[in-house]
């Protein structure tokens, strides 16, 4: 799943562009921000696949990201799944484009060939580590390494003619202060002596992210490069590449978004945290094709995409008002990058549930009824021609159940007694409340119910109270028993509305069965 996927947004008016990128889990949050920035500026949202690391190719990951974005309600205007004028959108299919830019940098003296093997560099790092130093391939060390700056022209030619593998590295000028403006953090500056000579083109001919994203952002007319904070340290190198390419004027605005942190402990939220702490980190369930490992998804756990998006958006961003429920359009309308927080946000699974409940409350009973119908059918074995599976019955059940659950998928199980007769009765209530003399009351109640011509919750309640009075009972003494006799449970939906919904015959039947057992 570590496939690198890139979203970008561009503004077709060529004025204020913007790119965006994201992966799959909590980084959906970044995509939402990207989309908001993009749409707020009237731009197009672009999906680019950054698959330059061939070792990390994961089958299915590309389709997964498209599906996940779709589920979130993010529409892609241009890119790998929909095409566009800047195709191809997979970086692996654009290899030659990057090479030409790398060569341009070599020609202008801003990049060079390096022949050092992975082993040699590893050794350098080890040596440095022993001296408690950090090896950095840069201005301080490049002249003592195996590259076209340190070698003679002849040596370089020979190595190349012998097909010795090489990479192309950026030649960072020394003694400079590199400053740029981050849309979220303001002015940020770095000492160029501390920026390493990043690999631009790998020995397999593929570009690194550093080169590829710049070339593509430029070619695809990206106006805003919005990415996670983990990219901030390499931003100076990116600024330099634009400069050396003579594209400073075309450089997009950069913004580095805060990271999502683990709910407990420390560090950035990772895939493992989800299963460890019992909440999903993936929008959709993901099965790793190589390990077969399955990671749960928000969708499969019963979350609404609106709730997922809403929750993510509110992590690190705020509208500046006290509104907290937003759909995507409202989000875009209210969005301002000024209200993006700088610090990382600790992810809170509890609040996510709350968002889901809020969105559930906003669903119509009819819609929920339609969705839970298959679950009710399989749970109860009731067939579709039964009234209990009718839209009207189900809708009434939903209305009763709705304030009592956080997820609509809890309804069938939690409201099982609405569909099938109880087989067990809450013994705590019975042993605590039941007295043999109550039998007369329930007998009378049955008779009065039988005799009544009309059936609704008010009448049932009046009948109940009247019967209690005639037996010199307070309603409270027998009410809880009545509930248990009808539903089997000590707690549940509003009693008399339930009585109305169940219908006279069903209530009488349940009462009779229960009375036989006490």
371-390 positions binding RNA, by CB under 7 A:
none
To RNA, the closest distance from the beta carbon of 138 in angstroms equals 10
Of the candidates 217, 245, 249, 246, which has an alpha carbon nearest to the alpha carbon of residue 231?
217
Residue 82 sits in the site that holds RNA (CB under 7 A): no
Looking at the chain, how many residues does it have? 518
Contact string 56-75 vs RNA (x = CB under 7 A): x-------------------
State the Cα–Cα distance between residues 90 and 263, nearest whole angstrom. 34
Query: Does 136 sit near RNA (CB under 7 A)?
Result: yes
CB of 318 to RNA, least distance (A): 4
Nearer to RNA by Cβ, of 256 and 388: the residue is 256
Nearer to RNA, 74 or 479 (CB): 479
Whose Cβ is closer to RNA: residue 81's or residue 124's?
124
Residue with smaller CB distance to RNA, 264 or 447: 264
Contact positions with RNA (CB under 7 A) in 345-364: 345-346, 348, 350-351, 354, 361
In the complex with RNA, the residue whose CB is nearer, 346 or 504, is: 346
316-to-110, 133, 225, 277, 357 alpha-carbon distances in Å = 38, 36, 18, 21, 21
| Identified catalytic residue from 271, 353, 470, 504 | 271
Scanning residues 103 to 132, which ones bind RNA (CB under 7 A)? 116-118, 121, 125, 132
Site string for RNA, 226-245 (x = CB under 7 A): ---xxxxxx-----------
For position 165 contacting RNA by CB under 7 A, the verdict is yes
- In angstroms, the CA 326 to CA 318 distance is 11
**Which lies closer to RNA via its Cβ, residue 231 or residue 389?**
231
CB of 423 to RNA, least distance (A): 19
Question: Which two structure tokens, joined as six digits, stand for 119?
Answer: 């082993």
Task: Give the chain's count of helices (H) and strands (E).
Answer: 21, 15
Instruction: Choose between 375 and 399: whose C-beta lies nearer to RNA.
Output: 399
Instruction: Give the nearer residue to RNA in terms of CB position, either 69 or 389.
Output: 69
Which of the ranges 183-191, 275-283, 302-310, 385-393 carries the binding residues for RNA, by CB under 7 A? 183-191
Do residues 373 and 397 touch, judged by C-beta distance below 8 A?
no
Nearest distance in Å: CB 222, RNA? 14
Give me the sign of the Cα torsion angle 273, 276, 281, 286.
positive
Kindly write down the DSSP assignment for every residue of 62-115, as one continuous string.
Answer: HHHHHHHHHHHTPPPSEETTTB-TT---BGGG-HHHHHHHHHHHHHTTSEEEE-
Residues 6+ apart with CB under 8 A from 126: none
Interaction residues for RNA, span 184-223 (CB under 7 A): 185-186, 188-191, 194, 196, 199, 202-204, 206-210, 213
Q: What angle do CA 346, 350, 353 make, to 5 degrees?
A: 125
Which residue from 404, 433, 443, 509 is in contact with RNA, where contact means CB under 7 A? 404
Strands, sheet with 199-201, edge to edge from the N-terminal-most edge strand: 111-114, 167-170, 199-201
Report in angstroms how near the CB of residue 15 gets to RNA at its nearest.
26
138 binds RNA (CB under 7 A): no
**Residue 22 · residue 30 · CB < 8 Å:** yes
Kindly report the three-state secondary structure assignment for every residue of 175-200: CCEEEEEECCCEEEEEEHHHCCCCEE
Q: How many chain residues are in contact with RNA, going by CB under 7 A?
A: 86
- Residues 263-292 within binding reach of RNA (CB under 7 A): 265-268
**Cβ-based nearer residue to RNA, 64 or 389:** 64
Q: Does the CA dihedral 160-164-165-171 come out positive or negative? A: negative
Please list every residue from 444 through 503 that binds RNA, using CB under 7 A. Answer: 465, 468, 474-476, 479-480, 483, 490-495
Minimal distance, residue 338 CB to RNA, in Å: 8
- The 320-339 site mask, x for binding RNA (CB under 7 A), equals x-x-x--------------x
8 A C-beta contact, residue 415 and residue 373: no
Distance CA(32)–CA(22), nearest Å, equals: 9
DSSP β-bridge partners for residue 294: 287
For RNA, the binding residue among 74, 167, 398, 502 (CB under 7 A) is: 167
CB 208 within 8 A of CB 200: yes
5, 109, 15, 143: which is closest to 64 by C-alpha? 5
Site residues (CB under 7 A) for RNA, limited to 304-323: 314-316, 318, 320, 322
Question: What is the smallest separation between the CB atom of 516 and RNA, expressed in angstroms?
Answer: 24
271 a catalytic residue: yes
Taking contact as CB under 7 A, which single stretch among the options 30-38, 181-189, 391-399, 450-458 is the one that binds RNA? 181-189
Q: How far is the CB of 13 from RNA (least distance, A)?
A: 27
State the minimum distance, in angstroms, from the CB of residue 106 to RNA. Answer: 16
DSSP string, 444-495: HHHHHHHH-S--SHHHHHHHHHHHHHHTT--HHHHHHHHHHHHHSSSS-S-H
d(CA 25, CA 9): 20
Instruction: State yes or no: residue 53 binds RNA (CB under 7 A).
Output: yes
C-alpha span between 332 and 312 (Å, rounded):
14
Active site residues: 271
């Amino acid at each position: 799943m570590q496939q690198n996927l890139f979203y970008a947004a561009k503004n077709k008016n060529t004025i204020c562009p913007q790119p965006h990128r994201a992966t799959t889990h909590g980084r959906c949050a970044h995509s939402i921000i990207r989309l908001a920035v993009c749409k707020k500026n009237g731009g197009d949202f672009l999906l680019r696949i950054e698959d330059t690391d061939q070792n990390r190719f994961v089958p299915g990951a590309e389709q997964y990201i498209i599906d996940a974005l779709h589920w979130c309600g993010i529409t892609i205007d241009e890119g790998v799944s929909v095409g566009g004028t800047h195709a191809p959108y997979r970086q692996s299919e654009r290899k030659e484009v990057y090479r030409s830019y790398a060569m341009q940098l070599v020609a202008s003296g801003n990049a060079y060939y390096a022949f050092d093997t992975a082993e040699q560099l590893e050794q350098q790092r080890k040596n440095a580590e022993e001296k408690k130093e950090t090896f950095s391939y840069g201005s301080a060390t490049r002249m003592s390494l195996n590259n076209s700056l340190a070698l003679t022209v002849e040596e370089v030619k020979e190595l190349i003619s012998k097909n010795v593998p090489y990479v192309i590295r950026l030649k960072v000028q020394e003694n400079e202060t590199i400053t740029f403006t981050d849309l979220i953090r303001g002015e940020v500056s770095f000492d160029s002596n501390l920026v390493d000579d990043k690999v631009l083109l790998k020995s397999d001919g593929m570009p690194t992210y550093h080169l590829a994203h710049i070339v593509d952002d430029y070619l695809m007319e990206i106006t805003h490069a919005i990415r996670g904070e983990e990219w901030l340290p390499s931003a100076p190198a990116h600024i330099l590449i634009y400069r050396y390419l003579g594209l400073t004027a075309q450089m997009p605005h950069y913004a580095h978004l805060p990271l999502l942190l683990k709910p407990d402990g420390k560090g950035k939220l990772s895939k493992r945290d989800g299963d460890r702490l019992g909440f999903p980190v993936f929008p959709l369930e993901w099965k790793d094709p190589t390990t077969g490992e399955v990671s749960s998804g928000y969708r499969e756990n019963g979350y609404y995409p609106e709730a997922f998006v809403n929750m993510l958006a509110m992590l690190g961003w705020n509208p500046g008002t006290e509104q907290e429920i937003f759909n995507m359009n409202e989000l875009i309308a209210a969005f301002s990058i000024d209200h993006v927080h700088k610090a990382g946000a600790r992810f809170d699974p509890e609040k996510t549930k709350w968002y889901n409940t809020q969105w559930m409350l906003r669903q119509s009973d009819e819609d929920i009824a339609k969705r839970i119908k298959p679950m009710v059918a399989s749970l109860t074995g009731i067939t579709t021609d039964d009234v209990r599976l009718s839209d009207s019955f189900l809708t009434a059940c939903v209305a009763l159940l709705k304030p009592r659950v956080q997820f609509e998928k809890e309804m069938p199980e939690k409201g099982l007694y609405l569909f099938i007769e109880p087989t067990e009765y809450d013994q705590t209530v019975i042993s605590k409340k039941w007295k043999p003399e109550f039998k007369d009351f329930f007998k009378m109640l049955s008779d009065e119910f039988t005799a009544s011509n009309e059936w609704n919750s008010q009448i049932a309640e009046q009948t109940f109270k009247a019967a209690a009075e005639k037996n010199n009972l307070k309603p409270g003494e027998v009410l809880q028993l009545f509930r248990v006799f009808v539903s089997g449970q000590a707690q549940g939906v509003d009693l008399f509305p339930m009585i109305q919904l169940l219908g006279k015959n069903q209530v009488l039947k349940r009462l009779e069965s229960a009375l036989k057992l006490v």
